[in-house]
Amino acid sequence: MTMETYISETRSWRVPIPFLDFVVDGKSPIEGVLGKGSDRSPTRLQPEWEHFSLDEQINRLLGLGAPEYEDGRTAMYICRCGDLDCFGIGARINREAGTISWSDWAWKDGFKLTDPIEELGTYTFTLSEYEEALAGAARMLETVPDWEPPKQKMLWPWQWGWRLPKEDDPMDTRMPRIRETVRRVFLETDPAGLGFGGTWFPESEYDTEVDRAISWLVKGRAPEDVAVRTVRCLERDWGVQVLAGKKERLAQGLRHVDLSHFMPR
């Protein structure tokens, strides 16, 4: 195994954020499991995430730290926002006397999703070579360049298949109702300033941020915290500066979102 600095080139990533990716037999392990035309998901080795700790991530990859997922899987690839509630790919890291292996791969999220990935088998590495590859992570991260946000802000957000409890139940109308309510909050507060100067933009423009906010609210995060996290994602992913007043209005709007009926049955 070696590592490389990878930078997304897809338009759906509003600001290209570099990360370190694994290279096994000349390619990233997940290239074969993503859809045609899809870009790589980032690894945890991406220093722009909040509370990033290289030592902590290296320990997990060495099988020495506690795995992120409750079932014992380590988060190998995750959403670029860094939140484990979003879709990610986990694997079990098994450390033995002279080897370390990745196995039992599965799609994961913060809502108990476990969808095995049969295309990914077991990868076994010599422990000394594996440790040597990870030892170069700090040097590689030091060479990652700074990135300026793109001038265009009217790009479409990437679309993930966000899944929340009971969303796939056609008789359960709670998810469409809550999504429409939160969407209204985003459209009325317009935190990214898309409507500045009377510019028209599609009602679906904020849908990625809407679904992310819902996932945080359902997990019990306070509206103020959701607004702060949303602003951080907007500024990073869209290349815009969100005014403090916009953040406060977004939090105020989210306080009025009624989740009392959005409880597991």
- Domain for residue 161, yes or no? no
Whether the CB-CB separation of 34 and 9 falls below 8 Å is answered with no
- Domain for residue 212, yes or no? yes
In terms of domains, do 36 and 107 share one? yes
Distance between CA atoms of residues 132 and 127, nearest Å: 9
DSSP, collapsed to helix, strand or coil, labels residue 61 as helix
In terms of domains, do 116 and 193 share one? no
List pLDDT tens digits, range 58-95: 889 999 988 988 889 999 988 766 777 777 899 999 99
List pLDDT tens digits, range 153-162: 333 333 333 3
In terms of domains, do 179 and 123 share one? no
Taking residues 222-240, report their average pLDDT.
85
Whether the CB-CB separation of 6 and 20 falls below 8 Å is answered with yes
Provide the sign of the torsion angle of the four alpha carbons 148, 150, 211, 229, taken in this order.
Answer: positive
In terms of domains, do 58 and 128 share one? yes
In terms of domains, do 105 and 211 share one? no
In terms of domains, do 136 and 180 share one? no
List pLDDT tens digits, range 90-125: 999 999 989 999 999 998 877 777 888 888 889 999
Domains in the chain: how many in total? 2
- Domain for residue 260, yes or no? no
pTM check: above 0.75 = no
- Domain for residue 147, yes or no? no
255 or 40, greater pLDDT: 255
- Domain for residue 88, yes or no? yes
Confidence at 12, pLDDT banded by 50, 70, 90? very low
* Domain that residue 90 falls in: 2-142
32 or 1, greater pLDDT: 1
Q: Which residues contact 136 (CB under 8 A, 6 or more apart)?
A: 3
The residue assigned the tokens 């409507």 is: 195
